[in-house]
Amino acid sequence: MQKKTTRAANTGSHQINAHSIKKQLNPLDLYRHELPTAKLKKHGWNDGGLCPFHADNHAGSFHVNVVTGAYKCFACGAAGSDVIAFTMALYGLKFVEALEQLANDWGLV
């Protein structure tokens, strides 16, 4: 009798990996794309403009860190530590799906 093989560990020739995505994708580029109305500067925490996670009608609550990719909203409590967490929350994706989307959108390997 043969043991049922698991396919989970064998999903393709190149594994998308969170570390390489974070290394290649500058959070500033992602947030400039996702938050087109925010006036982001090149360092540290920035005013992210209107929060994409609640019905925000006045800027000032939502902040993003363009160096680490962390984000936090002081109005609705949405928060995460990197661009992968942001992508998961914004598009309702699982971790692996967020990695795939980022890799595809930004041409990462």
Which residues sit at the interface with Zn ion, rule CB under 5 A?
51, 53-54, 73, 75-76, 78
The span from the CA of 90 to the CA of 80, in Å, is 11
Comparison of 50 and 103: residue with beta carbon closer to Zn ion: 50
Contact 83, 95 (CB under 8 A): no
Comparison of 32 and 54: residue with beta carbon closer to Zn ion: 54
Q: At what angle do helices 83-91 and 27-34 cross, to 10 degrees?
A: 20
In angstroms, give the least distance from the CB of 55 to Zn ion: 9
In angstroms, give the least distance from the CB of 74 to Zn ion: 8
